[in-house]
Amino acid sequence: MNAKLVIAGVLLAFVCVQFADSLVCYTCTTPKDCKSPKKVTCTNNAANETSNYLNVYHQGVRNATSTRFDCLALKYTWNNDVIHQLHGCVHPAVGACSLSLKPAYSHFNKTRCVLCSGNKCNKNPAGKVSSSSITIAASIVGIVLAKIYA
């Protein structure tokens, strides 16, 4: 019984660490780019880069250092044209979706802003944000746990 508990605990911890340590996000910085976004593993470096892009249009982008990250999907339109699009890893502390635009860009229409924390959860394009990788992982853990306790 105790051994089973330990195994279950280790397994759960392992899954959590996996998600915490190696979040992968789609990344792109222009509408054109975002038609075929690249993937990046989140690091402070990658999140700093997103901050730099956020800083172009927004005010009050905080300097931050993080141990866990979120994926961002941000889209601005104007007259139905996508004028700015940014995907990438972000520092949660930056609050990317609640930033104010600089006055010069205040006419931008924010049509989509999503912060999420599953691998590749900020998948382009306009579709739904899926948490399927988390769901799948959770189901696997559930099945394994069920087997251990069966």
Can you give the binding site for ligand NAG, defined by CB under 6 A?
44-45, 48, 62-63, 65, 77-79, 109
Using the minimum distance from each CB to ligand NAG, give the nearer residue, 74 or 118.
74
Nearer to ligand NAG, 83 or 137 (CB): 83
Cα gap 143→132, rounded to integer Å: 16
Least distance CB 88 / ligand NAG (angstroms): 14
Nearer to ligand NAG, 36 or 45 (CB): 45
Residue 53: half-sphere exposure toward Cβ, Cα within 13 Å = 22
Q: Which is nearer to ligand NAG, 2 or 45 (CB)?
A: 45
Quote the least distance from Cβ 8 to ligand NAG, whole Å.
36
Return the residue matching tokens 């104007």: 78
Least distance from C-beta 10 to ligand NAG, angstroms?
A: 31
For the stretch 70-103, what's the b/e string if a residue is b when 16 or more beta carbons lie within 10 angstroms of its beta carbon? bbbbbbbbeeeebbbbbbbbbbeebebeebeeee
Please name the helix (run of DSSP H) or strand (run of DSSP E) that holds residue 9, with its range, or none.
Answer: helix 2-21
The minimum distance between CB 48 and ligand NAG, in angstroms, equals 4
